[in-house]
Each structure stands twice: as C-alpha cells, then as structure tokens.
Chains A and B, each alone.
Chain A
C-alpha cells in the first residue's frame, strides 16, 4: 500500500503572539514543530506499512525551512518527502492551500491512501484534508479514530463526530483525516536521523505542477481573506468550593444540576 501523509510545520508554543497593530502572527525566532495532529496521521500510515508493506511518503507546503518537518517524519520512519515551496504559493487560504497540496500529491506519485491530521494547531480550520480530496476527485472521511479492516479494495474506518460514531467503508484511492489520540505516535529515532539522506526530500515549485496558472495559487488563488487575527479571550472564571468533602460534593451536584449538566 502506498500512502502519502500531508504534514505541516507549526509554531511550537500554544501561546502564539499576535502583533496588536497588524494582527499578524509573530513567527520570528519562534520554535517550530510538526503539527501535533499530523503525528497521529503519520503513525497510522507507518503502522499500515508495518502490516501490509508498501511506502509512506510525506508532503508539506511552506518556506524552505519547512524541509525540517519532512526530515523529522523520516526520522520517525517515512520513506521520501516533498516540499512545495514557491513565493507564488504564499498567502494561500484553505482553498488555495488544498489545491496546491492536491497538485503536489499528483506530482509526487500514485497513492492508494492519503492521510492528513484532522486540523492544524495554527490554522484550526479542519478543512484542508476534505478540500484536497475534492480537488483530487477521491472519497474522504474525516475525524478517523481507527482503521477496522483493510482489504485489497479499500478499508473500513471508524469516525468520531462526538455525537455519533460511524463505521465507514472506503474504496481506494481515498483520503482520511485522523483524529487526535488515534494512536501513540512513535518517537523520532536518532539512528534513523544519522542514516537519512536529506536528498530524499524533493523540492518542488509551481513549475513542477500540471496546472501552472499562477492565479490558482497563493493570495491570488484565494477566494477568502483574513480581516483580522486576534488571540481568543482568556476565560479565567473559577470558583472554589469549601467545607467538608460531603458539603463540597453537595455544592458541586447542585451547581451541575443548576446548569443542566447532570
């Protein structure tokens, strides 16, 4: 089974700073890491390869230093990587990002399965995986927590929509977005770090794509624009119950009942 995993480099800290004047994320000097959701997608792919053989490749879009996130995936066990980097891709919204990734996936090869993290911790839209599948014209399932069964033709997956859990049957080729805690991701290996040849990361620009119309990418290919970015309001509401354990328990039950939580 040949699997492609889409990953993203995101700020390492969850306390992202926003420039109060321009409303733009301050990324200078900030540490970066692999989007935590992508770790679960990558682990799912590596486990499938361990069971059924084949290949796990990784794809990302970003500035040149985003190559590091592909190398990190290779230290975890991925085979080959592709970095989509071009100034003409900059400023992309979810639609342009999904389109660029779909073009990159096609340029990279033929895959039975594409896996994405459910969402990123910086964009948080949870739309890119599904939109990418639409552009590729393949089926997709989101919020996958488990793969139940794998056959030659496809797979059965369990998806969790919080209110309901579905068992979905998918045919290859297809795309899945993987929910947090679907597995315990393996750790990067120092041994692999020493063995990986950085040349196995292919650098790809617009010139390598089938569709070379620059207006389909980046800012000009984005039908939406962000008006303002601001950090969410911090909610510090808290209350302290006091008294004996029994009194506290009574107060807590009364509180929860009052808010119709029980």
Chain B
C-alpha cells in the first residue's frame, strides 16, 4: 500500500479543525509516541493529534482517508506486540484526553465511558458505586479503549470472563469518517452479525472506538485469597486442573515460581510474605456471604493439601492481600528489570494442558539455552512466558529467540492453543498467527479488514495486512 507523506500543510489543516495546541508535528512529537511497552519496534509518527470528541476523531479520519495518510489510535501505549507503533509513520491519535466517565445506568447495570478512561479509574468508579467491573488485567494504567482492542483478559477471567464479555455497545469512527454505534444496552441480541464483537480484539485495525458501554456486576460482599506453596513446580501446576474440576469456582487461579517472586521482591524492595517454596498457586474466591466464601475456600484448601501443598496461607484482609497482589502485578516489570532485553509469548492453551505446557517451557529453556521465566493465569490457560536476552550478542539472541518461539507456538498449537491469550498479534506475532489459523481464515480476516478500511489507512499492517505481500 502506498501512503502519502504527511506535510506541514496537512498538519495545519488538522490544527484548523481540531485545535492548534492539540496537533503536534515533526520535532514537536515526543519519541514516546514511537514505541510501546516492550519497545522492540520503533517509529515516531509524523504528527500527533489529541482529539477530545468523537466528531474530532471523525474529522481526522475523513482527512486521512482522502489523503491516504496512515492513522493509529493510541491509548496508554502499554501494549506488548507493537500494535501502538505507527510503523508507516503518519498520524497518531492520542486518545487519553477522552477520559470522561459519561453515565452510570444502575437499571441496566452499565457504565458508558470515553475510550481514554483508564482501567483503574473504571474499576474504582464501579466499586465506589457498589458495583464491580470484573476484567482485571495486570496493567491498570491501560485505557479501556486499549483493553477492548486487545480483548484484555486478566486475573478474574476464570470466573468472570474477559473484556469482550463486558462490552455492551461501542461508538466508533470508521476509517472513512462515519460515526456508528455497534450494539446497545441490551442483554440479548441476535440481530445480524455482531460488528461490536468483530471490533473487540481488532487492535485498532477496523475502526476507532471512541466510547464504550460496559456491563457491570454487583460488587461481591466478601472476598478471600489463598497463597498455596508447593514443593515443586510440577506439583503446583499439577493441582490446577483438579481445582478447576472441583466446581468451587475461584475468581482467579494464578501460578508463580519462586525465582519470579524473588525478582519482584528485588524490584519492589519489598518482601513477599512467603518465598521459601519452589512454586505457588494464588487463588481468590468471592461471594455474597462470608460462610459461602469460607466453604468454597476450605474445600480447595483440603484438595491442595491432598495434592501435596506444603500449607495453605489465608489472605482475608487488605493488609494481607495487598503485598501479594502488588508483587503479582509487578512480575512483568520485575522480569524486565532482571535482564537487558526480553520478548514475550502470551500463548493460551486449554486449561487441562497448562501443567504440561509449563513443563515444556523448562524443556525449551534447556534446549535453546535461554532463561525463560513464566507466570500466568493458570486457571484460564493463558501463560506469560518471557524470553530473556541476558547479554547475548545480536546474532545468538535472534537465533535462539526464533527457535524458542517456534518450539513454543508449535507445541501450543498441537495442544489446541492459540498465539495470544490477551496481548494480541500486533506487528510482531503476525507470522505465528497465519501459521496457526491457516490460509482460509487469514483470507477471511483480510476480507473483513478490506470492508472496514478499503484504503488500508487505519493501523496498517497490524494483525492482518491489506495486501498479502506486506505481511513481512
């Protein structure tokens, strides 16, 4: 696809329809707009626009579409696969200014927000009003628009599902500039193809989400977490399928290894309440009554002890939960700080194969000679596996990384899994996606992209390229 290079005249036009102080061009553009959280691909955009309304977004899209200028809508930039990097330059729309919570509808249990509202702001707003917004991805400073576009999952997915399950309606701007509403406040909907669901997880390639109506649930009155130490990784992770099968319905089942906990202790400068054991399972239960929650956790506590747990440690107050969940939330940053560079593999496998897959990462670690720490959502089969460079030279690193990725994705695929559980495909994981889903599904996806974005101006070459030859 041939795009036009952005000129000062283009920027002046945008400034005239938006506001001069919210359009940055050339040297005014900060390098922070050129990378995401992982930062292995970079490209600073030619222009940054900071819209405040859906109509402003529509103006930008119309102009860009008519002039064949690539556009990328960016939230907090906390993605890990290059989706927020403008690989063809052009315009980045910084959506973080659209950060208003617009309406709480207690009758329909929904909240309507602008796309730049942060996950932590939405979660707190819900709690303050007696509700809960269940999706709980680790990166709380991500925007809701970003969460929708990656179909972010998080820790409570075991019981409550992922972001997709909470999207009722979306206000979007199509690449051609039309404003549309997909979905509504309805609970059921069998009215044609669900365009809303196509947009969820589309990584900003089909349209720009400017507002979202999200489903809330009543806030559970009681919650308790358990930290369960196991003498070995195999025993710890091996307990997970038994827990899932038990029917006790924990809200979260997280798996963590001792070396990652030690990284987090060093990174945070804070001790974890217990780091003597090789492996830990972290569980949370919630419910309406204290007795109900206790009955659920006692059943699982007994089960874990039968399966070889050293003990079952109880976290029943905020003081006890906070240090453990703070460490859990810092794992990614802690691993990142433990090495000079890392790449990540966010595979998802059927939950029954989680134990096998984690064991396999240790095999790969030995075979490829890379340090591969991991942690993740053991209860929903989504693992976060990190490949650490640890000072290797360029050639060796690239060679080992490629080999490790090939092995991991091949095994995940063989187990019935997928390339990404919640971080997305973006730019860097495309090849693995095509291998995993095959030619027919790739062409279906390309067809969808073409219908939404005939000129291919919106976040080009992410997830799926409009033209096959652009799929590097």
Please list the residues of chain A having a beta carbon within 8 angstroms of any beta carbon in chain B.
12, 31, 33-34, 36, 39, 75, 183-191, 193, 245
Given A184-B273, A190-B314, A36:B227 Cβ within 8 A: no
Nearest neighbor of A185 in chain B, beta-carbon distance: B273
Q: Is the CB of B313 closer than 8 A to any CB of chain A? A: yes
Q: Contacts of B271 on A, CB cut-off 8 Å?
A: 183-184
Q: Is B314's CB under 8 angstroms from A75's CB?
A: yes
Nearest neighbor of A34 in chain B, beta-carbon distance: B317
Q: Contacts of A193 on B, CB cut-off 8 Å?
A: 314
List 9 additional contacts besides A186-B274, A190-B226; criterion CB under 8 Å.
A31-B290, A33-B316, A39-B319, A184-B270, A184-B271, A189-B313, A190-B301, A190-B311, A190-B313
Question: What is the CA–CA distance of A185 and B316 in the complex, to the nearest angstrom?
Answer: 13
Q: Is B273's CB under 8 angstroms from A36's CB?
A: no
Q: Contacts of A34 on B, CB cut-off 8 Å?
A: 317
Return the 9 tightest CB-CB contacts between A and B, nearest first.
A190-B312, A187-B313, A184-B271, A190-B301, A188-B314, A33-B317, A36-B319, A191-B311, A189-B311
CB distance from A117 to the nearest CB of B (A): 12
CB within 8 Å of A: which B180-226 residues: 226
Q: B301-333, CB under 8 A of A: which get 1 and which 0?
A: 100010000011111110110010000000000
Question: What is the CA–CA distance of A186 and B317 in the complex, to the nearest angstrom?
Answer: 13
Q: Is B317's CB under 8 angstroms from A187's CB?
A: no
Question: What is the CA–CA distance of A152 and B312 in the complex, to the nearest angstrom?
Answer: 36
Q: Is the CB of B272 closer than 8 A to any CB of chain A? A: yes
Please list the residues of chain B having a beta carbon within 8 angstroms of any beta carbon in chain A.
30, 226-227, 270-274, 290, 298, 301, 305, 311-317, 319-320, 323
Question: What is the CA–CA distance of A87 and B228 in the complex, to the nearest angstrom?
Answer: 41
Nearest neighbor of B300 in chain A, beta-carbon distance: A190
Q: Is B314's CB under 8 angstroms from A186's CB?
A: no
Q: Contacts of A188 on B, CB cut-off 8 Å?
A: 313-314, 316
Q: Contacts of B305 on A, CB cut-off 8 Å?
A: 190-191
Question: What is the CA–CA distance of A191 and B320 in the complex, to the nearest angstrom?
Answer: 18
Question: What is the CA–CA distance of A83 and B317 in the complex, to the nearest angstrom?
Answer: 22
Question: What DSSP secondary structure best describes chain A's contact surface?
Answer: mixed
CB distance from A241 to the nearest CB of B (A): 15
Q: Contacts of B319 on A, CB cut-off 8 Å?
A: 36, 39, 185
Question: What is the CA–CA distance of A34 and B30 in the complex, to the nearest angstrom?
Answer: 49
Q: Is B317's CB under 8 angstroms from A189's CB?
A: no
- How many residue pairs between the two chains, A and B, have CB atoms under 8 Å in the bound complex? 48
Question: What is the CA–CA distance of A12 and B317 in the complex, to the nearest angstrom?
Answer: 8
Q: Is A187's CB under 8 angstroms from B301's CB?
A: no
Question: What is the CA–CA distance of A245 and B29 in the complex, to the nearest angstrom?
Answer: 12
CB distance from B162 to the nearest CB of A (A): 29
Q: Contacts of A189 on B, CB cut-off 8 Å?
A: 311-314
Nearest neighbor of B225 in chain A, beta-carbon distance: A187
CB distance from A123 to the nearest CB of B (A): 18
Nearest neighbor of A190 in chain B, beta-carbon distance: B312
Nearest neighbor of A188 in chain B, beta-carbon distance: B314
Question: What is the CA–CA distance of A75 and B271 in the complex, to the nearest angstrom?
Answer: 21
Q: Is B314's CB under 8 angstroms from A187's CB?
A: yes
Q: Contacts of A39 on B, CB cut-off 8 Å?
A: 319
Q: Contacts of B272 on A, CB cut-off 8 Å?
A: 184
Given A75-B314, A193-B314, A187:B320 Cβ within 8 A: yes
Question: What is the CA–CA distance of A86 and B312 in the complex, to the nearest angstrom?
Answer: 35
Question: What is the CA–CA distance of A34 and B314 in the complex, to the nearest angstrom?
Answer: 14
CB distance from B307 to the nearest CB of A (A): 14
Question: What is the CA–CA distance of A75 and B301 in the complex, to the nearest angstrom?
Answer: 15
Nearest neighbor of A36 in chain B, beta-carbon distance: B319
Nearest neighbor of B301 in chain A, beta-carbon distance: A190
Q: Contacts of B290 on A, CB cut-off 8 Å?
A: 31
Question: What is the CA–CA distance of A245 and B33 in the complex, to the nearest angstrom?
Answer: 13
Interface centre among A34, A39, A191 (most CB of B within 10 A): A191
A-B contact pairs, 5 of them (CB 8 A): A33-B317, A75-B314, A183-B271, A187-B314, A187-B320
Nearest neighbor of B323 in chain A, beta-carbon distance: A184
CB distance from A77 to the nearest CB of B (A): 11
CB distance from A60 to the nearest CB of B (A): 17
CB distance from A65 to the nearest CB of B (A): 13
Question: What is the CA–CA distance of A34 and B315 in the complex, to the nearest angstrom?
Answer: 12
Question: What is the CA–CA distance of A52 and B309 in the complex, to the nearest angstrom?
Answer: 28
Q: Contacts of A36 on B, CB cut-off 8 Å?
A: 317, 319
Q: Contacts of B312 on A, CB cut-off 8 Å?
A: 189-191
Question: What is the CA–CA distance of A188 and B317 in the complex, to the nearest angstrom?
Answer: 11
Interface centre among B270, B272, B273 (most CB of A within 10 A): B273
Q: Contacts of A187 on B, CB cut-off 8 Å?
A: 227, 273-274, 313-315, 320
Question: What is the CA–CA distance of A184 and B227 in the complex, to the nearest angstrom?
Answer: 15
Question: What is the CA–CA distance of A33 and B315 in the complex, to the nearest angstrom?
Answer: 12
Q: Contacts of B227 on A, CB cut-off 8 Å?
A: 187
Q: Is B273's CB under 8 angstroms from A186's CB?
A: yes
Question: What is the CA–CA distance of A189 and B304 in the complex, to the nearest angstrom?
Answer: 13
Question: What is the CA–CA distance of A189 and B227 in the complex, to the nearest angstrom?
Answer: 10
CB distance from A179 to the nearest CB of B (A): 14
Q: Contacts of A31 on B, CB cut-off 8 Å?
A: 290
CB distance from B291 to the nearest CB of A (A): 13
Question: What is the CA–CA distance of A75 and B314 in the complex, to the nearest angstrom?
Answer: 9
CB distance from A256 to the nearest CB of B (A): 24
Q: Contacts of A191 on B, CB cut-off 8 Å?
A: 305, 311-312
Question: What is the CA–CA distance of A190 and B273 in the complex, to the nearest angstrom?
Answer: 15
Nearest neighbor of B298 in chain A, beta-carbon distance: A190
Question: What is the CA–CA distance of A48 and B30 in the complex, to the nearest angstrom?
Answer: 54
Q: Contacts of B311 on A, CB cut-off 8 Å?
A: 189-191
Question: What is the CA–CA distance of A185 and B314 in the complex, to the nearest angstrom?
Answer: 12
Interface centre among A12, A184, A186, A190 (most CB of B within 10 A): A190
Q: Contacts of A185 on B, CB cut-off 8 Å?
A: 273, 319-320
Q: Contacts of A33 on B, CB cut-off 8 Å?
A: 316-317
Q: Contacts of B323 on A, CB cut-off 8 Å?
A: 184
Q: Contacts of B316 on A, CB cut-off 8 Å?
A: 33, 188
CB distance from A129 to the nearest CB of B (A): 20
CB distance from B52 to the nearest CB of A (A): 13
Question: What is the CA–CA distance of A188 and B323 in the complex, to the nearest angstrom?
Answer: 15
Q: Contacts of B298 on A, CB cut-off 8 Å?
A: 190
CB distance from B309 to the nearest CB of A (A): 9
Nearest neighbor of B310 in chain A, beta-carbon distance: A191
Nearest neighbor of B227 in chain A, beta-carbon distance: A187
Nearest neighbor of B317 in chain A, beta-carbon distance: A33
Q: Contacts of B270 on A, CB cut-off 8 Å?
A: 184
Question: What is the CA–CA distance of A185 and B315 in the complex, to the nearest angstrom?
Answer: 11
Nearest neighbor of B226 in chain A, beta-carbon distance: A190
Question: What is the CA–CA distance of A75 and B320 in the complex, to the nearest angstrom?
Answer: 14
Nearest neighbor of A37 in chain B, beta-carbon distance: B319
Nearest neighbor of A192 in chain B, beta-carbon distance: B311
